[in-house]
Every structure is written in structure tokens, then in C-alpha cells.
């Protein structure tokens, strides 16, 4: 007599194998979904980092800062050839490069990718020098403090909030002079 497996035994093995495959497929799809969400969140954070570094570089080498409103700042570049303006508009920051003579906009663009980041509130505060201070630096060192409030990072799983502030002391902040005459 030949030994073999019965139909019931083969059916049970196929059922157990199918359940294991369904569980593994479910785990795999959950991991892939989590990786996609994490990747999208990482892209949003990288966009915020890129834009804040760009603001830092531009403001660090600027001259003659003028806060037009709590949501807008303008200043000259290092060579006084262009005026830059950073302003809050349509849930994003707009960076404009203008001709200092005519005031015409030479370049304009959004700093944050609107598909990744939505800026809910933006405010600029500039501290004034304290001329009564004994240390030279504090007498003539205005700093530009840029506050970002209520960022919404847009991800595949929805939105998440991010709030931070960025303080920038321009390189010329120890000088009480104006290189670019307005």
C-alpha cells in the first residue's frame, strides 16, 4: 500500500500557507505605506530646512533692513545692486529681487513648495540697539528675528504642525553705518 496525503491534509496545508501569505502581504503593505508617509514628511522637512537656510544666507549678508510690516522685510544685497523683499502672501513666503533705481521686480518666487508646506502665520521682529549698554556689540547690534508660526507639513497621512523661530544677526550688525543710501 502506498502512503500519501489525504485531500483533507493537503487542504489544511494550503489554508495555513494562504493565511501566512495574507499576513505577510498585509505587513508588507503597511510597511510600504509607512515608508511613503515618512518619505513625504522628510521631503516637507527638507523643504522647510532649504527655505530657512536660503533666508539665513540672504539676510546674513544684507544691508539697510527695513521692516515694512510684521510680515514683510526689505534690504539691500551686499553690493547694493539689488533690493530683496521677503513677504508673507497666500500661505507662503515670497522672495522678490528688485532693481534699486526703478523698483521693478527682477525675480520673484515662493520659498516653500506649496504641495509640501503651508505657512499659516509669519512674523518678523527686529530688536533695536541698546546705546546705554557698556559692551560695544550690544550698542550697535540689531538682530533680525524671524518667527514662523503654524507651519502645516502636508503628508499622505494628513497634516502635522511645526512651529519654530529663526534668529539671524547680519554680518554688518556691529556697524552703525549705512553702505546703501535709500
- pLDDT tens string 92-133: 999 999 998 888 999 999 999 999 999 888 888 877 666 676
Where do the domains of the chain lie? 8-64+113-174
CA distance linking residue 161 with residue 120, whole number of Å: 10
Average pLDDT, the chain: 84
CB atoms within 10 A of CB 117: 24
Three cell numbers, residue 86? 521677503
What is the three-class DSSP state of 123? strand
* Lowest-pLDDT range of 45-54, 89-98, 149-158: 149-158
CA-nearest of 72, 68, 63, 61 to 100 is 63
The answer to whether 162 and 50 are in contact (CB under 8 A) is: no
Predicted local confidence at residue 123, as pLDDT: 85
Instruction: Outline where the chain has alpha helix (H).
Output: 7-60, 136-139
- pLDDT tens string 56-95: 899 888 888 888 888 898 888 888 888 999 999 888 999 9
CA distance linking residue 83 with residue 1, whole number of Å: 97
Three cell numbers, residue 124? 518678523
DSSP type of residue 171: G
Amino acid at each position: 500500500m502506498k502512503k500519501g496525503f489525504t485531500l483533507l491534509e493537503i487542504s489544511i496545508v494550503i489554508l495555513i500557507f494562504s493565511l501566512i501569505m495574507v499576513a505577510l502581504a498585509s505587513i508588507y503593505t503597511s510597511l510600504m505605506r509607512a515608508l511613503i508617509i515618512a518619505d513625504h514628511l522628510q521631503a516637507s522637512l527638507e523643504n522647510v530646512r532649504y527655505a530657512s537656510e536660503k533666508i539665513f544666507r540672504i539676510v546674513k549678508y544684507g544691508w539697510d533692513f527695513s521692516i515694512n510690516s510684521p510680515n514683510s522685510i526689505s534690504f539691500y544685497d551686499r553690493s547694493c545692486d539689488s533690493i530683496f523683499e521677503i513677504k508673507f502672501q497666500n500661505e507662503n513666503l515670497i522672495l522678490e529681487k528688485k532693481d534699486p533705481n526703478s523698483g521693478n521686480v527682477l525675480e520673484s518666487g515662493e520659498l516653500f513648495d506649496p504641495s509640501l508646506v503651508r505657512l499659516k502665520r509669519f512674523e518678523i521682529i527686529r530688536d533695536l540697539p541698546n546705546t546705554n549698554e557698556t559692551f560695544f556689540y550690544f550698542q550697535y547690534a540689531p538682530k533680525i528675528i524671524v518667527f514662523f508660526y503654524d507651519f502645516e507639513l502636508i503628508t499622505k497621512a494628513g497634516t502635522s504642525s511645526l512651529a519654530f523661530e529663526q534668529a539671524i544677526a547680519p554680518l554688518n550688525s556691529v556697524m552703525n553705518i549705512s553702505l546703501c543710501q535709500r
